[in-house]
Structure 1
C-alpha cells in the first residue's frame, strides 16, 4: 500500500516562509505591542489593496467577520437573512446569534454556490408570508470560487437587501477580474490555518466600501466603543486580531498571489488527468478560484473513498449534512420547493488533496488513484 500523502501540507509552506515568519514574530515579541499593534493596521491596508477595493477591518475569527456587519446594520429579531444550507455552520449561526432568522436557499448543481432562482423564490415567499422582514443575503464563495454575483446582486438590490460575500474560503478569488466586493456590501474572510490564506490560529477580516458601515463595524469589533475610551455607542464584541497573527499573515500575503497560481496548477493537472472518471469542479465563467478545496462528485462515495485510501490518497467531505437538516436549524424556513440540489450534492461530493506545495509525484498519485476507479 502506498504511503498516505498530505491532504493539506502546512509544514511545507512553513519551511518556505520560515525565516520571514520567524523574523516577523520576533519583531512583535521584542516590541511587545500584542493588541492592535502596527502589524494589524498594515495587514488591513494590504488586504484591501490585494482585493483592489474598500477598507479592511481585522477581527478574531471568520465567524465574527460575518456577524460584525449584521450587528452594524442592526439586523435582529423579526428579520430574515437568506443563506445557503450547503456550507459551514458559521454562515447560518451568525444570523441566529444576531437574533434574526436564517432562510435556507438551494444551490447551483455545478458550482455548489447559491442558486439565484431559489433566492428570488425564497425572498418572494418570505415577503408574502409577512412574518419576517427580509434584510440581507449571505452568499458563500464555496470551495474557493465566487458565487454568481452578477445574478445575485440585482435580486438583492431589487428587494432592498444587504449582500454579504462569505469569502472565508475564497479571499483572493475574482470574477471578471474583480473581488466579490464589487457586488457585495461586505466581504468576509477567515484566516483559519487550513484556509488558502491561513494564520497559525484563528483570525478573520471584513472588507467594505461604505465609510459609515466601516465606522460602525470598527465600533462593534471592540465592545461597541464610541468616540472616547470607555464610552459605548452600541452592543459589541471582543473581536480583535492578535498582532502576532497579523505579522504571520503579512508574511503569507506576500506570496499569496503566487500560491493561488500554484493551486491552479494542481487543479489543471487534476482536470486533465481525471478524464471522465468523476465529475470535476465547474468554475463559473470569468472566475479565478483560490481552490480552497478540489471537490468532485462521484457515485458510491464510500467505496470510492476506500479505494483512494488504499492508494494512499486521503479525502474529506464538505458537507455531509446540509445545515437545514441539523436539529438546531430544522425549524427555520427553506426556499419554496425545498433544497433538492443541496441534499443530493451532500451524498456525492468528495474533496481531494489540494495545497500549493503539492509535488508532481503526489499529484500523479492522486490522478492514478482516481483514474483507476471502476465505477
Structure 2
C-alpha cells in the first residue's frame, strides 16, 4: 500500500505549520486559553483563509472535498501546535451534515469560515455509548410546519458555547440504548428553549453543557430521516475518532521532540543526560510507541476515506486503542524525563500531556474501543 502524501496535502500541512510557528506560538496559545471566550477570532479567520474550513466540505457546497487522509495532515499539525480553536468540533459537525445530505447552505457557511458547529451527543449517563440517549424528540403540535420539540441535556459539548449551530442527537423512538429510533437535528444555538453553559476543560479547550427545554425546531432541521440517524451517528463518530488519532499523533511527535531536545541540553555530572544509556532506552521505547501509533492512525484515515463500514469500524477502534496506549506511555515518560518541570504550566510538556489525556477520553476511550473491536464479526473466527 502506498503511504506517501500528495503534494497538495504536504502544502496544506506546510502552510498550517508555518502559521502555527509564526502566529500561534506557545505564549500566544496560553493567552487565548486564559481569555474570556477561550478562542481567537483572528486565528479562526486565518484557518479559513488557509482553506482549512473548506477542506472537508464537498465541492458542490464551496469546499475542496477533502477526505480523511487530507484531514489527517491538518489534524496532525493542529495537534503539534496545540491549537485550541473549534476546528475539530466544526469539521465533525460538517461530517454529520454531509452524511445527512440536505443542509448544503450550512456547509457553504462552514466552508467560508462563517459558521462554527458543535456536536451535542454525550449525556450524563451515556459515558462512551453514544446510542445511550435520554434526550427526547417529539413531534411538535404547534407551528405552521409542525417540526420537533427537544427536551433533555447534553454534557461536555466540545466548543458548544462558540457554535452557531448544534448537531444534536435525540431519541424519537426505541429504547434508551437502541441504535434504532435516533434522530439527528441541526439546531441554531439561539433557538428559544436552548441554554448553554460554557467552561474551560483540563486541556485548555472549551466545552459546554447544553439544556433543551421545549426547544422547537422545524422539520428541515432533521439530519437524515427521523428515527434512522444511528448509522450517521456511528459513521460520524468514527470519523471524529480518526481525526483525534491524527491530532494525538501530532501532539506525541511534538512531545517526543521536545523531550529529546531537553535531554540533549540538561546536564548532570558535567554531561548531557542524553548520554545516559537508561534514558536512551526510554526514548527508544517512546519512539517505538510513536511509530506504531502513526501506522495505525494513518491506516484508520485510509479506511475512513475508502468508506467501507466493516473495515472502518475495525480499523478506527484498533487505531483509537493503540493511539491511546501510546499517548499514555509517551506522555508519562516525557513528564518523568523532564522531572518536576514537566508538570509546570510554563512548560509545553504538561499541556501536551493534558491534551493527550482528553483525546483518550473523547469519542470512546481505549477500553471502549478494545471492547468494540473484540465484539466485531471475525474477531473470534466467525464469518464477518
Q: TM-score range by the shorter chain?
A: under 0.3
Which structure features the higher share of helix residues?
2
Higher RCO by CA contacts (8 Å cutoff, separation 6 or greater): 1
